[in-house]
Amino acid sequence: MATPTLNWPLPRAVAHRCGGALTPENSLAGLRVAAALGFRAVEFDVMLSADGTPWVIHDETLERTTTGSGRVCETSDEVLRRIDIGSRLHKAFAGEPMATFEAMTLRCHELGLQANVEIKPAEGHEVETGDVVARRILSLWEGRPLPLVSSFSFAALQAARKVAPSLPLGFLYSKAPADWLQRFDDLAGYSLHCAKDVDDAVLAQAKARKIPVLCYTVNDPRQAQFLFDRDVTAVFSDRLDVMADYR
């Protein structure tokens, strides 16, 4: 299988959860601020509702970031549409709506932002989420350079690959396992995404194969520079205000 490539330049800093320190994480407000600060790419998390609609949210449950409660995968679109994801961060963001994947994508297009779409399946929904998100990407990005699509779930990546042979896939780990490269090759991966305490041995494997490495979550420019000096390609950051040199 030929390796699908990314048809847009990967910047050195990607807004993690759209820049979740300054604005509610995974929000349309985050996209606006990321674009205003000159960022060119954002990362956000996508999960299915009880109706099978892809929404942008990190946790499997609603409590931490929203005024709602319960599991996202057991909550209907009608309920999610009424949820406020702004008040938990600050009253200035009260009324910020939870974004559907479609709304988020269209706003990225309007603002000229590239995306790393992280497939974030609720437990037990890995294949369905990978399949649905990949299908939506093919229609929402038609005629545009495809986003980078990543997941901690191999099953979700497998399902996405089945739907979309041309999708650039990011293999996401907190710590890359010994067989990461074999799994990567099995699905013709594009990039490796991992936590910032990445081993030298893993970086050497990636470098030998010219595989881009992206590390999360880096909110200190000195730490970012330390990673770039070790051949890390890009970092995910919540702190867009202090990472401006790496846009």
Residue 240 to residue 120: CA distance in whole angstroms: 23
150, interface contact from ligand G3P, Mg ion, none, CB < 5-8 Å by kind: ligand G3P
161, interface contact from Mg ion, ligand G3P, none, CB < 5-8 Å by kind: none
| DSSP-assigned letter for residue 10 | P
The alpha-helical segments, DSSP class H, found in the chain are 28-36, 77-80, 101-111, 126-140, 154-163, 180-186, 200-208, 221-229
| Structure token digits, residue 113 | 């932002």
Q: Which residues bind ligand G3P (CB under 6 A)?
A: 16, 43, 45, 58, 118, 150, 172, 193, 216, 236
246, interface contact from Mg ion, ligand G3P, none, CB < 5-8 Å by kind: none
Active site residues: 16, 58
* Residue 205 or 217 having the CB closest to Mg ion: 217
Provide the minimum distance between the beta carbon of 121 and ligand G3P in the complex, in angstroms, as a whole number.
Answer: 12
From residue 111 to residue 140, what is the string marking binding to Mg ion with x (rule CB under 5 A)? -------x----------------------
How many other C-beta atoms can be found within 10 angstroms of the C-beta atom of residue 103?
15
Provide the minimum distance between the beta carbon of 219 and ligand G3P in the complex, in angstroms, as a whole number.
Answer: 12
| Structure token digits, residue 59 | 């946790």
Q: Taking CB under 5 A as the rule, does residue 45 contact Mg ion?
A: yes
- DSSP strand pairing (213-216 vs 234-237): parallel
Provide the minimum distance between the beta carbon of 214 and ligand G3P in the complex, in angstroms, as a whole number.
Answer: 7
Provide the minimum distance between the beta carbon of 5 and ligand G3P in the complex, in angstroms, as a whole number.
Answer: 19
Angle of the 126-140 helix axis to the 101-111 helix axis, nearest 10 = 40
